[in-house]
Amino acid sequence: MTTIATTAGGGRRTLLGNWGFLVGAGIVGFCAIVALLAPWIVPYDPFAIDLERRLVPPSFMEGGDPRNFLGTDQLGRDYFSRLIYGARISMVIGVLTVITSGVIGITLGVLGGFYGGKIDDAVVFAITTRLSIPAVLVALAVAALRGSSFMLVVLVLGLLLWDRFAVVARSTTMQIRNLDYVAAAWCAGVSRWWVLTREVLPNIATHLAVVATLEMALAILLEAALSFLGLGVPAPLPSWGLMISEAKEYMFFTPWVIIIPGAALFVLVLGVNLLGDALRDMMGTDLSR
Burial class (CB in 10 A: 0-12, 13-18, 19+), 87: buried
Query: Each residue of 244-265: b (16+ CB within 10 Å) or e?
Result: bbbbeebeeebebbbebbbebb
> Please, what is the minimum distance in Å from the beta carbon of residue 102 to other proteins?
20
SS3 10: helix
According to CB under 8 A, which residues from 59 to 78 bind other proteins? none
Handedness of CA 182, 186, 189, 194 (dihedral sign): positive
Dihedral angle of Cα 101, 153, 222, 37, to the nearest 10 degrees: -90
**Toward other proteins, which CB reaches closer, 42 or 124?**
124
Build a one-symbol-per-residue string for 2-41: x at contacts with other proteins by CB under 8 A, - elsewhere.
-------x--x---x-------------------------
Asked if 175 interacts with other proteins (CB under 8 A), we say no
Query: Which one of 26, 29, 63, 134 is in contact with other proteins (CB under 8 A)?
Result: 134
Point out which span in 49-57, 125-133, 179-187, 190-198 binds other proteins (CB under 8 A). Answer: 125-133
Rounded to whole angstroms, the Cα distance separating 91 from 122 reads 33
**Toward other proteins, which CB reaches closer, 6 or 128?**
128
According to CB under 8 A, which residues from 199 to 228 bind other proteins? 217, 221, 224-225, 228
Rounded to whole angstroms, the Cα distance separating 60 from 205 reads 45
SS3 72: strand
Q: Give me the residues that bind other proteins (CB under 8 A), please.
A: 9, 12, 16, 125, 128-129, 131-138, 140-142, 144-146, 217, 221, 224-225, 228-231, 241, 244, 248, 251-252, 255, 258-259, 262, 265-267, 269-270, 272-274, 277, 286, 288-289
